[in-house]
Amino acid sequence: MKLEFTEDQLAVQRMAREFADEQVAPRAKDLDEKGEYPADLVAKLGELGLMGVAIPPEYGGSGFDYVTYVLAMEEISRACAGTGVIMSVNNSLVCDPLYKYGTDAQKKDILAPLAAGKQLGCFGLTEPGAGSDPAAMRTTVRQVGDELLLSGEKIFITNAPNADWAIIFATEDKELRHKGVSAVLLPLKNHPGVSVGPKEIKMGIRASHSSSICMEEVKLPVSHRLGDRGMGFKVAMTTLDAGRIGIASQALGIAAAALNESLAYAKERETFGKPIAQHQAVAFMLADMGTELDAARLLTLRAAFLKDHKRPFSKESAMAKVFAAEMCMRLTTKAIQVHGGYGYLKEYAVERHFRDAKITDIYEGTSEIQRLVISSHLLKG
C-alpha cells in the first residue's frame, strides 16, 4: 500500500475540509444542543458528491474509491460527528450493498438518487431481541404470488426519521436461521403499513436521528428483494464489513477534533508560570494521543485500500473499527483531562466530542463482536 495519496484524493479531502470548516463546524454546537437534523448540510453533501463517494457516476455517485471516502468522512466527522454518520450510513450501509447486489433497475431507480444525495437511506438490521445476533431476528417476509409481505420491528435505525428508503432484513424461513434471511428494499414515506417512530433522545451524535421502523403486512413487489432469496445474511455481513470502515473514519474525525482542541488549549493555558503544554505530564498525554490517532488512521486506510483492490478485508476492517473506536474513547477522555474542569463544561467542544465518541464502539458491531471477527480469522490460520 502506498502512503501517498493521489491528486484526486487530496482534492476531495481539501473540498471536504473546507466545507467542514466553513459550514459544518460553526453549527455543530447548536445542532447538538437542539438535536436538529441538518437537512441543508446533507443536501450540500449531496451536491459535493459526498453521499455516494465510491459509486460510479452512471448510478449517481462520484466514482472515487474507499480511501477517498475515508479522507472525506474524517473531515466531516471532525466538524460534526452527527453529520458524519448520516453521510456514513448512506455511503456504506445503503449505496454500497445496492451497488454490489442490486439489479440494473434497482441501481437506476433507487441507488442513483441515493448516491446523488437527492434521497436518503438507512439500514434496518437491529431488533429488540436481535442486535449482535442478527440470525435471531423476528421480522418476517413471505412471498405471495408476485408480492412480498413484510412484518416486524427494527430499532435504533440511524437516519430512519429522515430517510426515503430502508434496506430491511427479514427471515423467510426461521428454521434455516441465518440461511433463511432475505434483504428487502422498503420505501419509508407514505407507504401503507409502514410507521417510523419518534426520534430517540441520545447522549451524542444528536444531529443524526435514529428511531424504530414498524411494518405491518407491508406489500411490496418481488422486485424489491435485494439479492436472491436467503442471501440477506450475506448482504448484511459484507455490508457491515464496509460500514466498519466508515465508523472507524468517524472515530478518526472525533479524535482529531479532540486532539486539535487539546493542543490549542495546552498552548494557551498557563500554570506555574508557563503553558501546560510545557509540563511533561501534559506533553506526554498529547504525544500518546497523536500516536494512537495516527495508528488508527493507518489501520483504517489499510482496510479501505484492500476493499478498493478487491482483496479480503473483513479482518482488517474489524481491526480498524475496534482500534479506532477504543482509541477515540481514550483520546477524548484525555482531552477532558488536558482541559481540566473546563473540559467538563458544555462551553468547550471536548465535552461534545467525549459524548460522541462512545457510540463508535457500539454500533455497526460492538467492540466485542469485532474481536470475535478478528479472532475467527486469526484462528483459521
Q: For residue range 289-345, what is the model confidence (pLDDT) as tens digits?
A: 999 999 999 999 999 999 999 999 999 999 999 999 999 999 999 999 999 999 999
Residue type, 315: K
Q: Which of 258, 240, 241 is nearest to 357 (CA)?
A: 258
Counting residues of the chain whose pLDDT is more than 90, the rounded percentage is 95
Least confident span in 166-180, 270-284, 313-327: 166-180
Would you say residue 131 has pLDDT above 80?
A: no
What total number of domains does the chain contain? 3
The vertex-316 CA angle with 310 and 319, nearest 5°, equals 160
Would you say residue 1 has pLDDT above 70?
A: no
Question: Do 300 and 223 share a structural domain?
Answer: no
Letter string b/e over residues 313-350, b meaning 16 or more CB atoms within 10 A of that residue's CB:
bbbbbbbbbbbbbbbbbebbebbbebbeeebeeeebbb
Q: For residue range 207-259, what is the model confidence (pLDDT) as tens digits?
A: 999 999 999 999 999 999 999 999 999 999 999 999 999 999 999 999 999 99
Q: Which residues contact residue 144 at a Cβ distance below 8 angstroms, ignoring those fewer than 6 apart?
A: none
Helix H or strand E encompassing 170: strand 165-171
The pLDDT of 143-162, averaged and rounded, is 97
pLDDT for the residue 178: 86
Would you say residue 135 has pLDDT above 80?
A: no
- Distance (Å) of CA 212 to CA 84, 124, 208: 21, 9, 14
**Does the reported pTM lie above 0.85?**
yes
Question: Do 361 and 243 share a structural domain?
Answer: yes
| Cα–Cα distance measured from residue 98 to residue 105, given in angstroms and rounded to the nearest whole number | 11
Q: Which residues contact residue 116 at a Cβ distance below 8 angstroms, ignoring those fewer than 6 apart?
A: 46, 51, 52, 60, 61
Structural domain of 116: 7-120
- Select the more confidently predicted residue: 379 or 1: 379
| Cα–Cα distance measured from residue 157 to residue 210, given in angstroms and rounded to the nearest whole number | 5
65 is a domain residue: yes
Residues forming the active site? 364
Question: Do 198 and 135 share a structural domain?
Answer: yes
Question: Do 138 and 27 share a structural domain?
Answer: no
